[in-house]
Chain A
């Protein structure tokens, strides 16, 4: 099995995993869940860092830098704003 096929294998399994994970989530959690998964796709920052690390030439550096800034904003902002939402959920249980 080639690496390409193996990664495709993982990809297909992950599709089903994603469906299973959020089956039957109460609607009150839709917003935090959307926000939380939004933060998780911020893992693109890893891709941005690798791309910028290997960049040569001004254009590649500029594009890579913008990718890193956007990715970092996605990942850090995403987790923080989700936490801020969920913090309020906890408060009301008192």
Chain B
């Protein structure tokens, strides 16, 4: 690699680092993404002179990049904001698949010394796991396979699979340069990626995607070793290590160790425990007109949005209701749980889409001390993040998770489609509290009705 090209890759790496740094603050985040994109453009242009390419391969590269560009752009711009996590999972899976394929081609064509082969083996196995794991995570978030899949001896089956992959990997690195064996190796890795994610409940998919994101980073870094490209090493490694930290931060927001998320089979624990409506109370329905009256009379109203709001595409109606109430002198704030929606920060994105002012979004830690002074807490399509079982029921799978303490408000109104369970699949004892009323129906329709009634009243 000539010096100018090497320096171009260095510039790209520096821009990635600056980009990530800027991404960590709300004000500069968008600029950060653009800075990283410029870095990527530099890296891609610097690659061109490195390629000694035949006409056939050149055509294939151009066509391939264009196809990827179109698929990526259509995916990125057509996806609904609610389906964002799935999209990230798919893009991540694509990266993992590419990393595995690059390693496979290098392994077949230019194996080199043990050092290079071990990098290829590592990149292909991690890339393959990330690929199949991301596909399963995507399917789960799309609503297929949402139930955790568990069977007796599962841990042993997965453990055996890991062992087989490791043994094959060591064999391929040290003694055997066999393509058929490599194919078996990849198939086992793909199988493991899928089986690793299958027993994990849909609610934990963000953590899984974040983890697989860092996996892909590491696979890319290993590819960097295999083809001696420092930009791949730096970019991949930084994504790998920052992704690991991000995964741990997400687990911390749910107050669960990462091992519990990955191997605890969330759903398994919840089937028996915490399944009863412990207090044995009944839910008290409320009609929209009465709810509108209560809202209009309040001084301080807190709205707790959950994934149900996103599914119903009701973020605009929620904002309208907040505006309407604010005009009447009611203080309105949105309480955002760190894991509301399907990903940390997902709810902020959705409400931002509906033009909810930044100042109205209050984080969980700030809103909880104010809760006893709140007149009405309006819970829209949220469930697990307001479930008091997290504080009270040691047998509950969400025990210990920090929640928004909606039950401490003077009155709680829950907008809910039906009495179904939350994403974690457990009962919510908030709904049977004395100060809780249920407004059943589609969140969007209910909110529209409330807006009209508040306006009229």
Asked if A81 and B94 make an inter-chain contact with CB atoms under 8 angstroms apart, the answer reads: no
Q: B67-75, B142-150, B190-198: which one contacts chain A?
A: B67-75
Asked if A72 and B68 make an inter-chain contact with CB atoms under 8 angstroms apart, the answer reads: yes
Asked if A14 and B238 make an inter-chain contact with CB atoms under 8 angstroms apart, the answer reads: yes
Asked if B72 and A78 make an inter-chain contact with CB atoms under 8 angstroms apart, the answer reads: yes
- Mark contacts of A37-50 with chain B using CB atoms, 8 A cut-off: 1 yes-contact digit, 0 otherwise: 11111111111111
Asked if B60 and A67 make an inter-chain contact with CB atoms under 8 angstroms apart, the answer reads: no
Q: Which chain B residues (126-167) contact chain A, with CB distance < 8 Å?
A: none
Asked if A27 and B30 make an inter-chain contact with CB atoms under 8 angstroms apart, the answer reads: no
Asked if A41 and B235 make an inter-chain contact with CB atoms under 8 angstroms apart, the answer reads: yes
Residues of A within 8 A of B333 (CB): none
CB distance from A61 to the nearest CB of B (A): 6
Asked if A37 and B33 make an inter-chain contact with CB atoms under 8 angstroms apart, the answer reads: no
Asked if A14 and B101 make an inter-chain contact with CB atoms under 8 angstroms apart, the answer reads: no
Q: Identify A50's interface contact among B50, B210, B217, CB under 8 A.
A: B50
Number of interface residues of B (CB under 8 A): 116
Q: Which chain B residues (9-47) contact chain A, with CB distance < 8 Å?
A: 12, 16-17, 19-21, 23-26, 29-30, 32-34, 36-37, 40, 43-44, 47
User: Does chain A have a CB within 8 A of B199?
Assistant: no
User: Does chain A have a CB within 8 A of B243?
Assistant: yes
Given A10-B230, A44-B95, A46-B47, are A72 and B64 also a contact pair (CB < 8 Å)? yes
CA–CA, A30 and B217, complex, Å: 17
CB distance from A63 to the nearest CB of B (A): 5
Residues of A in contact with B (beta carbons under 8 Å apart):
3-4, 7, 10-11, 14-19, 21-55, 59-61, 63-93
Asked if A80 and B29 make an inter-chain contact with CB atoms under 8 angstroms apart, the answer reads: no
Q: Identify A80's interface contact among B52, B67, B77, CB under 8 A.
A: B77
Q: Identify A27's interface contact among B40, B66, B95, B363, CB under 8 A.
A: B363
Main secondary structure of the interface of B (DSSP, over half): helix
Interface-central residue, B29, B43, B79, B209, by most chain A CB under 10 Å: B29
Asked if B43 and A46 make an inter-chain contact with CB atoms under 8 angstroms apart, the answer reads: yes
Asked if A92 and B355 make an inter-chain contact with CB atoms under 8 angstroms apart, the answer reads: yes
Asked if A76 and B115 make an inter-chain contact with CB atoms under 8 angstroms apart, the answer reads: no
CB distance from B40 to the nearest CB of A (A): 6
User: Does chain A have a CB within 8 A of B313?
Assistant: no
Residues of A within 8 A of B51 (CB): 49-50, 53-54
User: Does chain A have a CB within 8 A of B98?
Assistant: yes
Asked if B98 and A67 make an inter-chain contact with CB atoms under 8 angstroms apart, the answer reads: yes
Asked if B71 and A73 make an inter-chain contact with CB atoms under 8 angstroms apart, the answer reads: yes
CA–CA, A64 and B1, complex, Å: 21
Residues of B within 8 A of A61 (CB): 56-57, 60
Interface-central residue, A11, A31, A75, by most chain B CB under 10 Å: A31
Asked if A46 and B101 make an inter-chain contact with CB atoms under 8 angstroms apart, the answer reads: no
Asked if A75 and B72 make an inter-chain contact with CB atoms under 8 angstroms apart, the answer reads: yes
**Nearest chain A residue, comparing its CB with the CB of B113:** A4
Q: Identify A31's interface contact among B84, B101, B239, CB under 8 A.
A: B84
Asked if B36 and A30 make an inter-chain contact with CB atoms under 8 angstroms apart, the answer reads: no
Asked if A53 and B52 make an inter-chain contact with CB atoms under 8 angstroms apart, the answer reads: yes
Task: For the A-B complex with A15-B237, A28-B363, A42-B91 known, give 4 more contacts whose Cβ atoms are closer than 8 Å.
Answer: A36-B19, A72-B64, A72-B67, A79-B40
Residues of A within 8 A of B288 (CB): none
User: Does chain A have a CB within 8 A of B92?
Assistant: yes
CA–CA, A50 and B51, complex, Å: 6
Residues of A within 8 A of B241 (CB): 14-19
Residues of A within 8 A of B79 (CB): 81
CB distance from B421 to the nearest CB of A (A): 25
User: Does chain A have a CB within 8 A of B381?
Assistant: no
User: Does chain A have a CB within 8 A of B448?
Assistant: no
Residues of A within 8 A of B66 (CB): 72
Residues of B within 8 A of A76 (CB): 68-69, 72-73, 76
User: Does chain A have a CB within 8 A of B253?
Assistant: yes
**Nearest chain B residue, comparing its CB with the CB of A68:** B64
User: Does chain A have a CB within 8 A of B221?
Assistant: yes
CA–CA, A26 and B223, complex, Å: 32
Asked if A71 and B98 make an inter-chain contact with CB atoms under 8 angstroms apart, the answer reads: yes
Residues of B within 8 A of A51 (CB): 101-102, 105-106, 227
Residues of A within 8 A of B98 (CB): 44-45, 47-48, 66-68, 70-71, 74
User: Does chain A have a CB within 8 A of B353?
Assistant: yes
Residues of B within 8 A of A31 (CB): 84-85, 88, 343-346, 348-349
CA–CA, A27 and B341, complex, Å: 12
Q: Identify A91's interface contact among B65, B223, B345, B355, CB under 8 A.
A: B355
